[in-house]
Amino acid sequence: MKKKAPPRPICLSVVENNPITPHMRRIVLTGSALATYPAISTSAYIKLLFDLDGNPLDTPPSSKEAVQMRTYTIRALERQNKRLSIDMALHGEGSQEGPASHWAKHAQPGSSILVGGPGNGKPLAKHYDWVLFAGDMTSLPAIASHLEALPSNVHGYAVIQITSEEDKQLLKTPDNVQVKWVIGHGSQLVENVAQLPWLTGIPAIWAACEFSSMRGLRTLFRDQRQVPHSQLYISSYWREGRSEDQHKVDKRKDAEAFATAK
């Protein structure tokens, strides 16, 4: 069967760019195309389009090779008001920064950018006794959206690695979901998740973070905790020292190697 062509990117303009915490900014985009935007699921994402110099594109690129795409979770979509919000983590300085992080710091109201997508969000397993979310600043928007959508009687954990103490956010969670903030970077996320008292019954696990941490968590969940495939969503959202384009290649190879090793 012929694969359906992805929707054409739409041009949106920035209406607001405000800090949420020191290392996270909320960008609100608007445009007439949002009035008829497709229905989205929790943790659905868009692609921001930049040229090869890192400038936001506002006209379609001449070819696929002339564009750098960066992926961001839709934090909120208000079709009636034609507003779409994304929460962007800030990282690096100068050449370490990446086009998306640079844009998040500097995008002015009125400026435009092409936006691809939306891509489907990744749901929690349907049936479970308890939940476990694990992530970092990049998946905090998706985790926050999932937590907000949970029924009030759910219990479990959300373990979230953030850059600094001041990057903690007030999250809307069921009373019995314990939020544990991990300050810093590297393997601390995996270590903190490994130390959690494992609850009884079947978990639904949703995890997204840096590539090496993802691999550490995958080993913990699959090999040590024997979590069945059906109860686990796990993904890397970025990789230390690699741009999103390079990370995409690494991710594909890792998934193939993991599938072969099973």
Ligand X SMILES: Cc1cc2nc3c(=O)[nH]c(=O)nc-3n(C[C@H](O)[C@H](O)[C@H](O)COP(=O)(O)OP(=O)(O)OC[C@H]3O[C@@H](n4cnc5c(N)ncnc54)[C@H](O)[C@@H]3O)c2cc1C
Q: To the nearest whole angstrom, how small is the minimum distance from the Cβ of residue 206 to ligand X?
A: 12
The residue range among 88-96, 127-135, 168-176, 191-199 that interacts with ligand X, by the rule CB under 6 A, is 88-96
For ligand X, the binding residues in 154-213 under the rule CB under 6 A are none
Out of 138, 173, 213, 231, name the contact with ligand X by CB under 6 A: 138
206/135 Cα distance (integer angstroms): 8
CA gap 213, 61 in Å, rounded: 34
Q: Using CA atoms, how far apart are residues 244 and 234, in angstroms rounded to an integer? A: 17
Distance of CA 238 to the CA centre of its chain: 9
Task: Rank residues 99 and 156 by Cβ distance to ligand X and give the closer one.
Answer: 99
Task: Kindly tell me which of 31 and 141 has the beta carbon lying closer to ligand X.
Answer: 141
CB closer to ligand X out of 48 and 130: 48
Q: Which is nearer to ligand X, 6 or 224 (CB)?
A: 6
Applying CB under 6 A, among 52, 89, 156, 206 the residue interacting with ligand X is 89
**Spatial CB neighbours of 29, under 8 Å, sequence gap ≥ 6:** 12, 13, 14, 15, 83, 84, 85, 86, 113, 115
Q: How many residues bind ligand X (CB under 6 A)?
A: 27
Map the footprint of ligand X across residues 25-54, applying CB under 6 A.
45
> In what side-by-side order are the strands of the sheet with 130-135?
177-183, 156-162, 130-135, 203-210, 232-238
CB 77 within 8 A of CB 20: no
Residues that bind ligand X (CB under 6 A): 45, 70-73, 86-89, 91-92, 96, 98-101, 137-138, 141, 237-244
